[in-house]
Amino acid sequence: MGGVSVVQQQPWWKTSVVYQIYPRSFMDSNGDGIGDIPGILMKLDYLEKLGIDVIWLSPVYDSPNDDNGYDIRDYRTIHEEFGTMEDLETLIEEAKKRGIRIVMDLVVNHTSDEHVWFTESKSPESPYRNYYIWKQGNPPNNWGSVFSGSAWERTEEDWHYLHLFSRKQPDLNWRHEPLRQDIYDMMTYWLNKGIGGFRMDVINFISKHPELPDGIVHEGSSFGDGSPYFMNGPEIHTYLQEMHEQVLSHYDILTVGEMPGATTEDALLYTKPERNELNMVFTFEHMDLDSGPGGKWNFTQLHLPDLKRNLEKWQLALAHEGWNSLYWNNHDQPRIVSRFGNDKEYREHSAKMLALVLHGLKGTPYIYQGEELGMTNIQLPDISHYKDIETINMYNERLAAGEEPESILKRIYVKGRDNARTPMQWTSDGGFTTGTPWLAQNPNTATINADQAINDPDSIFAFYQQLIRLRKQLPMFTEGSFELLLPDDEALFIYKRTLGSTVWYIVANFTEETHHIKRTSISMPGSGYEIILANTQPTETSDGFELKPYDAFILSFEKGEGQ
């Protein structure tokens, strides 16, 4: 096979595949309807079988669950719903036996309002006062919260505190050095337990513009957009370098910063190794391409050339310095097969196509639980079934503004975060819990489930297994250069990877129509290829290939042969 040799001499996080677990929805061991750590332990063999190297665990810390754990009450305690610290230590140990590292979610832009720092901080004389951003009198600016309404909450004493997310998620004041030291101590505490790194929640929000200027009020909004003043703020690199020096540099770990609004220029600053900040960032740009003006709830149809150009931009910008993360899904995004694929007739085929296109890129791939099964979005009958604070707040806000419930529900069906959060589909009758799940199980678990998938050599699961295995064997995935072909084609996504004398053509049909591709249009050799992976045997024609709906494959050629 062209280019066979085992990937080596790279930091482990460059050759790894990460699997994200949203613990609440993964596996419930005790029948209370909520996933837990012992449940994850029960499924480690499944993950080992899939072949992943790293688990990113969404928050399991003590929390009042206003935002499902992204509102932390105590960074050093495990939420009782999820188990105990001992359970977590067992998880770290058991995962390690299977060659899997555990990456923890680090949520330090904000805490819960029930965190003791905040309850203390309510008193103006408290030594914790400066741990948060308090202002006396009227709100100092017009910023809106990401979860609707104002970003400022008034307290009885006529003070306001900043919360970029819910009012139960007050923002921490990173300008205050003692706060930073407390965070670094907490990080060290976790690293000393042997974890494999951190996924850092909205970490590029931690440095706010000191003057807190008003934001522009976009059409249709009652609040100002503060993002230019808190995304990638003035001190962000100083803080990350300090964190690196004091904490991160002492461990061999994976660090990934969740960074809405980070450009490729920003990403380079965050990830160039010599700058001593992070390993990689999560970009949002490709996830925003189907958002219209006014944000994600005003969605539009994805225009494929936009996606291709965007991924190309990231591939090229971080080709030689810095590093990319690759993802389609997480707990905040709708299911990719329902979004960019086809979750009906071509569900399996399009899910494999999407996997191939993403994993074929250079970077560290992230799989979100259920993606490997081709889990789909869900449509619940009315708002009372939804649990996500962002969804519920948006619903109430639009309802108050006069929008019809049916119209708002349609937005939720396409973009709501609960699409990603329905319980993992283990068996034909669910298999997630013996009780009542905290969020409705998708009824299509009858046909889409792990039980079925692991026994089917042709399943989406099996396809992910192959992609992961190949990544371990072929340095092309991590080292090959990238070139986008036919950028303006509205149906086909074709790119080339090159390493030494080996050239790959990664070819995918993003539509439910059949398309043809002429070899000459992409300078593809006429013969002598090898199929590295395909979701169907490629159909050759006299001058190229016929691509049926969602067909995708990787062809490998050796330069100088078969031309």
Where in the sequence numbering do the catalytic residues fall?
Answer: 201, 258
Smaller CB separation from ligand NOJ, 65 or 141: 65
Name the nearest CA neighbour of 171 among 212, 113, 252: 113
Other beta carbons less than 10 A from residue 31's beta carbon: 10
What's the gap between Cα 523 and its chain centre?
35
Q: Which long-range contacts (C-beta less than 8 Å, at least 24 apart) are formed by 119-123?
A: 122/155
The helix/strand/coil state of 154 is strand
H or E stretch at 240: helix 236-246
Could you tell me the smallest distance in angstroms from the CB atom of residue 164 to ligand NOJ? 8
Tokens of 107: 């949520």
Could you tell me the smallest distance in angstroms from the CB atom of residue 107 to ligand NOJ? 6
User: What's the CA gap between 500 and 504, in Å, rounded?
Assistant: 11
Smaller CB separation from ligand NOJ, 36 or 388: 388
User: What's the CA gap between 466 and 505, in Å, rounded?
Assistant: 18
Smaller CB separation from ligand NOJ, 91 or 202: 202
Running DSSP on this structure, what letter comes out for residue 213?
P
What pairs with residue 21 in β-bridges?
57
Could you tell me the smallest distance in angstroms from the CB atom of residue 58 to ligand NOJ? 8
Could you tell me the smallest distance in angstroms from the CB atom of residue 151 to ligand NOJ? 13
- Write out the residues near ligand NOJ by the rule CB under 6 A: 67, 70, 107, 165, 201-202, 258, 331-332
Helices (H), 386-481: 389-400, 405-415, 418-421, 450-454, 460-473, 476-479
User: What's the CA gap between 562 and 262, in Å, rounded?
Assistant: 43
Could you tell me the smallest distance in angstroms from the CB atom of residue 174 to ligand NOJ? 15
Tokens of 62: 């003590």
Could you tell me the smallest distance in angstroms from the CB atom of residue 201 to ligand NOJ? 5
Contacts of 253 (CB under 8 A, 6+ apart): 13, 103, 191, 195, 196, 197, 198
**Residue showing the smallest CB distance to ligand NOJ in the complex:** 70
Other beta carbons less than 10 A from residue 307's beta carbon: 18
Residue 504 vs residues 281, 304, 471: alpha-carbon distances, Å: 26, 21, 14
Cα 533–538–542 angle (5° rounding)? 140
Could you tell me the smallest distance in angstroms from the CB atom of residue 170 to ligand NOJ? 12
Smaller CB separation from ligand NOJ, 229 or 557: 229
Strands (E), 432-525: 481-485, 492-499, 502-509, 515-518
Smaller CB separation from ligand NOJ, 107 or 503: 107
Is the CA virtual torsion 294, 298, 303, 306 positive or negative?
positive
Are 27 and 424 contacting, i.e. CB atoms less than 8 angstroms apart?
Answer: yes
Smaller CB separation from ligand NOJ, 169 or 449: 169
Could you tell me the smallest distance in angstroms from the CB atom of residue 507 to ligand NOJ? 33
Smaller CB separation from ligand NOJ, 169 or 502: 169
Smaller CB separation from ligand NOJ, 415 or 497: 415
